[in-house]
């Protein structure tokens, strides 16, 4: 009985692992990429709209403190850059699903590295504008 259970578990494990990193169909990839691009565009547009509102709000108080305006503009630029990085990352990951095995892993690693760099650049730009 124990040998049968071990054999069944081993077979299930092999089947489960063989399903990992399989490429999706081209139609599914195209659909997923299009959805990710649409979502990314919406997120960037929302971030731009929020940044514009924050800047407008700060401009009404410009007589009080010009630093508030600079801070609002910097924060808005950071939010837009972050939204763009998030969207680009999601689109890249969807495109990676067209690949399999090591190529898929390498693609995802590269997408993650680009994402990390974009986020770091956005943080650095924010820090440079808000000493």
Q: Please give the model's pTM, rounded to 2 decimal places.
A: 0.66
Domain ranges of the chain: 23-129
Structure tokens, 121 = 């650049």
- Count how many Cα atoms sit within 13 Å of the Cα of residue 126 in the half-sphere of its side chain: 15
- Residue 2 to residues 10, 21, 122, Cα–Cα distance (Å): 12, 31, 57
> pLDDT tens for residues 41-87?
899 888 888 888 877 666 655 555 556 667 888 889 999 999 999 99
Q: What share of the chain has pLDDT > 70, as a percent?
A: 72
């Amino acid at each position: 009985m124990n040998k049968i259970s071990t054999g069944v578990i081993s077979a299930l494990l092999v089947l489960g692992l063989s399903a990992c990193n399989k490429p999706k169909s081209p139609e599914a990839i195209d659909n997923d990429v299009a959805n990710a691009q649409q979502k990314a565009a919406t997120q960037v547009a929302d971030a731009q709209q929020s940044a514009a509102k924050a800047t407008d709000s700060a401009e009404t108080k410009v007589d009080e403190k010009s630093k508030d305006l600079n801070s609002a503009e910097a924060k808005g630029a950071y939010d837009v850059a972050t939204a763009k990085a998030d969207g680009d990352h999601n689109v890249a990951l969807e495109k990676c699903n067209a690949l399999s095995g090591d190529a898929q892993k390498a693609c995802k690693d590269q997408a993650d590295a680009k994402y990390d760099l974009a986020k770091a650049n956005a943080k650095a730009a924010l820090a440079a504008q808000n000493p």
